[in-house]
Structure 1
Amino acid sequence: MAKKGLNKAVVVDCAARLADAEGIVGLSMARLAKTLGIALPSLYAHVRSLENLRQEISLAVNAELSRLMGEAIQGRSGRNAIFALARAYRAYAVTHPGRYAAATLIAPDFSDPRAVEVAKACANVVYDALRGYGLEGDDLTHAARFFRAGLHGFVSIEGQGGFGLDLGVDASFGSFLAAADRALNSWELARP
């Protein structure tokens, strides 16, 4: 008999909380079933496999990140937009390290229309933030890749404890944002 109130959303949320506490790599179906207080076979009524569970976490996280970044840039453009987006992104990654890892380490399943929709929503938020620099077409795409790669790199290194020097990481993040702003302001000069 199924546990009352247990559904796919509850299972994915519990798995996401476990990923934050213990890491996405350490997440197992057995650990999740134990946390939920159900028998392991009962878990498969809600998710097909561990890979499917990780995909569901990634999908939920990307949807949440898209929403948070979109809220952060409301009413802002250019420098103010990318700074607000980056701060929201970084705050999420710091607060939810396991979820962030799921969103960045698990490749989206683009055969799932939900994954396509969420990926487009995330890209559109970044594009909206960057349009304040007057970028369009291919330049907008290249700039979005540049900004996303830099932001993900910084947040990932920070999350892994890679900034070990006794120097404020917040100041480094501010410098990263200022450098990104300068690069985006002179994007036409950055073309090969």
Structure 2
Amino acid sequence: MIQKRNLTKEKIIQVAFLLSEEIGLNKITFTKIAEKLDIKYPSLYNYFDNMDNLKIEMVKYFLNNLNLNLMKRLIGKSGKDAIKEFAYTYRDFAFKNRIFYELFMTIGITKDDEIHLLVKKFNNILYEILNFYIEDKEQLIYKSRSLRSLLHGFVSMNFHGYFHTDVNLESSFAFMVDDFILSLSPK
């Protein structure tokens, strides 16, 4: 049994994700998480008010890790190299963390201030990359939305099994990213 002093929010979140991968996100409960941790389920209420609160914390964990991953991978890159790195990092992170990604997409933007800040940080990373090509703020937002929509569409369609042709999936992704880059013109 995990002693209370060894139990942390992060450990609970990680177990919740592992359990989600095993039985599905909608089937996890405090009772099942507690069983996995070998603790009594009321102990979880010391860390989270309810399952909705836990899911919000899971989204924060995901967004924080995504942002850190993007920042690490983008060091020293600019222009098309930065856009490609951003796109591949986003896609690979979503594929590696499918449950995180699906939870993030289903929970949406909440009234939680920390989620808003993490989403803003994510957007600012993309704005900095696109600023290499675009100065106008409105155009910057349009192109940011375009790239995020392309990436989300690709990831979601792949998750749901919509790519069933002989055309190589990796080639399709590379084509999509290159085509987006071609839509940009240098300042």
**Shift of residue 101 of structure 1?**
1.1
| Equivalent residue runs for 1:130-141 within 5 Å | 130-141=130-141
Change (3 A) 1:81 1:7: same
Q: Aligned-pair distance for 1:32?
A: 1.4
User: How far apart are residue 40 of structure 1 and its match?
Assistant: 2.1
Tell me how far 1:21 sits from its aligned partner.
4.1
TM-score, normalised via structure 2 length: 0.89
- Between the aligned partners of 1:27 and 1:162, the Cα distance in structure 2 is 27
AA at the equivalent of 2:114: R
Conserved in 2, the CA contact under 8 Å of 1:59 and 1:118?
yes
Moved more, 12-21 or 94-103: 12-21
Mapped to 2, the partners of 1:57 and 1:137 lie a distance apart of 31
Give the AA of the match of 1:16: F
Cα offsets for 1:31-65 (capped at 9, x unmatched): 21211112222222211111111111111101111
Where does residue 166 of structure 2 map in the other structure? 166
Q: Distance in 2 between matches of 1:142 and 1:20?
A: 35
**What TM-score does the superposition give when structure 1 sets the normalisation length?**
0.87
Partners in 2 of 1:136 and 1:16 — Cα distance?
40
Q: Is the contact made by 1:70 and 1:85 (CA closer than 8 Å) also made in structure 2? A: no
Distance 1:151 1:60, change over 3 A: same
Secondary structure at 2:100 match in 1: helix
Listed as ranges, the matches of 1:144-163 within 5 Å are 144-163=144-163
The CA distance in 1 between the partners of 2:158 and 2:135, in whole Å, is 29
Q: Check the 8 A contact 1:66/1:122 in 2, yes or no.
A: yes
Aligned residues: percent identity? 26
Please list every run of 5 or more consecutive structure 2 residues that lacks an aligned counterpart in the other structure. none
User: Counterpart of 1:87 in 2: which secondary structure?
Assistant: helix
RMSD over aligned Cα atoms: 2.1
Does the C-alpha gap of structure 1 residues 136 and 22 become closer, same or farther in structure 2, counting only changes over 3 Å?
farther
**Gap regions ≥5 residues in structure 1:** 187-192
3-state SS in 1 of match to 2:167:
coil
> 1:155: how far off?
0.9
Q: Are residue 180 (structure 1) and residue 180 (structure 2) matched?
A: yes
1:33 matched to 2:34? The reply is: yes
SS of 2:162 mapped into structure 1: coil
Name the structure 2 match of 1:117: 117
The letter for the 2-side match of 1:71 is K
**Residue aligned with 1:152, SS:** helix
Does residue 18 in structure 1 map to residue 19 in structure 2? Answer: yes
Q: Secondary structure at the match of 1:132?
A: coil
Letter paired with 1:97: R
Using the TM superposition, give the Cα deviation of residue 19 of structure 1 relative to its aligned residue in structure 2, in angstroms: 2.9
Q: Which amino acid aligns with 1:152?
A: H
The alpha carbon displacement at 1:22 in A equals 4.0
Aligned-pair CA distance for 1:2? 5.9
Give the paired residue count.
Answer: 186
For 1:136 and 1:23, locate their aligned partners in 2 and report how far apart those are by CA, in whole Å. 43
Larger deviation: 169-178 or 156-165? 156-165
